[in-house]
Structure 1
Amino acid sequence: MGRTKTINITPELLDKAAENMKAKAIEVRGATLKDLFCNYSYNHKLAPGTVNTVSTKSQVPVHDDLKAAFRKLDAHLAVICEEIPADAISNMDDLLPYDEDVHATGSIEHKVSMFTVNSFRLEGDSDNQSVILVGEKQLTTGDFVKLETPKTHLDSSYPFAHELNIALIDLVGEVEEYMQGKQAPPVQQELFAGEDDYAEADR
C-alpha cells in the first residue's frame, strides 16, 4: 500500500490560499453597449501585484437584463451633467421608464428618456472608486449630442451617490453574467416561441 502524506493546515497556508483566490479574481472595469453587443474590460489578478487589463469585443447578443441595467444610469447622466436639476427628482428609485400613454410631455420621466448611457468606466480602487458615464442626449430636432460626465467619486457629495452605487453594482453583476454566457435568446428560439404562441391562440 502507498504511504499517506499528511498536510497540516496552518493559518499561514490558509492565508496563502486566500491570496491565491484573490489573485484569480476578475474585476470588471467598464463596458460599452454597441448595437446588439457589449464590449467590456476587466482586471485579471494573476498574483499579488500582478494584474492584466483585458479588453474584449464580444459578438454575443446582450440579454435584456443587461440593457435594463444600463438604463438605470440614464438619469444619473442627466443630473451629473447638470441637464436636469437634482431637486427635480424626488426619489431616483421611483422613476419609471417613460410611457407616452402614461407620462405627460415635459414630465421628469419624459425628460430622462432623452438621455441614454451606453458606456461606463470605473477608476481607482475599492477605497477610492469613481465612475465616468458616457452617453448621449436626444435634442428636439431629433439629433443627438454626446455627453460624458466628469469623474464622479462614489462617496462624493453627489445627492444620488447611494443610488448610483447600487445601479453600478447591478450593472457590473450583469456584465459578469454576460461574460459567463448570459445572452439574448437565439433568434431561432424566439421564432419558435412565437409559433407556440400562435398555436396556443388557435386552440
Structure 2
Amino acid sequence: MGSKATPLIPFQGTTGAQSSPTLVAADHSLLELDSELDALLDQIQDEIEERGEASAEAMERFQVFCQAMDVKIDRIGRFLRIMETRAEYCKKESARYAARAKRAQNKIERTESMVLYYLASHDLKKIESHEFTLKRNKNFQDSVVITQPDSIPDDLRRFEAKIDGPLWLDVIDALPKKLAEPLAASVKSSEPSNSAIKQHVANGGVVEGASVKRGYHLRIE
C-alpha cells in the first residue's frame, strides 16, 4: 500500500473552524486552490486503486476545496464587476470634469480677452484694485491666429490617421497608386499646424486664412 499523500495546503477536519470553505477561499489564491484540487484528485484515485475506495478524510477535504473554489470564483466575479463599474464611473467622471475644465478655461479666456481689450482701447498697461493688478504684457513669441481653418493648405496641417497593420506595412514597403486612396480614407482628422505656419510665414510666405502676430497675455499679481 502506498504512502498517504501530503496535502499541499494545511487543513483541519470539519470540527475545526479553518475547514470552512469561506475561510479556505479567503486564505488561498485561485492557483493554490486549483493545485490542491489536482493533488486531491490524484490522492483519491490512488486510494481507490489501492483500497477500493477513497478515504473519508480525502473526500471531505475534496468537497471543502470544491466549495472553496466556488466561493473564490464568486468573489473574483463580484470583484471584477465592481471594478468594471468603478472604472466606467471614473471614465464618465473624467469626461465630465474635462468638459467642466474646458468650460472654465473658455470663461477665463473670454474674461482675459475682455480685460485686454479694455486696456488696449484705453491705452493702459495695467489697472489696479486693493487686491490685484491686471497688466497687459506682450507675449514672448508670436501666436498663430486661425480665422479660416478650411483654407489652410495640406502642407501646413498636422494629420492624425488610424491605419490597419497590413496597410501600414504595405505603405512602409512601398506606396503604389492603389494604396493612395485607402491611405487617404484612413485619415482620422487634420488640423492646421502652428509650427509649420510660423515657419512658412518666417520664410516670407503668405497663408490664406491664418496670420502670425505677437499677442498679449494677462498677468495677475
TM-score range, shorter chain: under 0.3
TM-score, reference length from structure 1 = 0.21
- Structure showing greater radius of gyration is 2
Which protein has the bigger strand share?
1
